[in-house]
Amino acid sequence: MKIVGIVLLLVLSSLFAGAQDFTTVILVRHAEKDMTASTNNPDLSPEGKARQQALSHALENVDIDVLYSTPYLRTRNTIQGIASARNLEILEYSPFDEAAIKEIIESNQGKTILFSGHSNTVPAMLNMLTGTTNYEPFTDADYDNLFFVIMHGGVVQVLPLKYGADDGVK
């Protein structure tokens, strides 16, 4: 299933590479956090660091223009490998400010934007972008989801993918 997802990802990436009127939003929940840390801002666990590398690998052939993260170590570090490899700055966003998120997307029309969020904010963004309530918050163990939201002419398509180690959540 993961191979099929990656093949679809590469096909979509190549199809839309020259299409300036397509906007792609990639949504990912932060990788596994260090549950032993005695802080409300833990870094990634060893499993999370492995998933961060898997995310970098899964997206290595996708043209990403802009990176956004909430202001937490785990969300920033989940996409840090992508930022370093592409020499991109990670910008902060508030996942609860719909107007600001819409402005980010509007100001990046024709580009690919990667957002690193949380178990509740990724589904909330999916619902906002699709105008539905189809997406529920993830469980605490759910880390392997990757969503491509492709927007063109008022049409929004969501491609749900899996990446990295199987977290066992269906």
What ranges do the domains of the chain cover? Answer: 2-6+23-162
Are 68 and 92 contacting, i.e. CB atoms less than 8 angstroms apart?
A: yes
Q: Which of 12-16, 106-110, 113-117 has the lowest mean pLDDT?
A: 12-16
pLDDT > 80? residue 170: no
pLDDT > 50? residue 97: yes
Summarised one tens digit per residue, pLDDT across range 19-48 is 558 999 999 999 999 999 999 999 999 999
Summarised one tens digit per residue, pLDDT across range 138-166 is 999 999 999 999 999 899 999 999 999 99
Higher pLDDT, 167 or 66: 66
**Token output for 164:** 């990295």
How many Cβ atoms are within 10 Å of 62's Cβ, its own excluded?
Answer: 19
- Residue type for position 36: T
pTM, whole model, 2 decimals? 0.89
- pLDDT for the residue 168: 84
pLDDT > 90? residue 7: no
Residue indicated by tokens 């679809």? 8
Domain 2-6+23-162 matching CATH 3.40.50.1240: the answer reads: yes
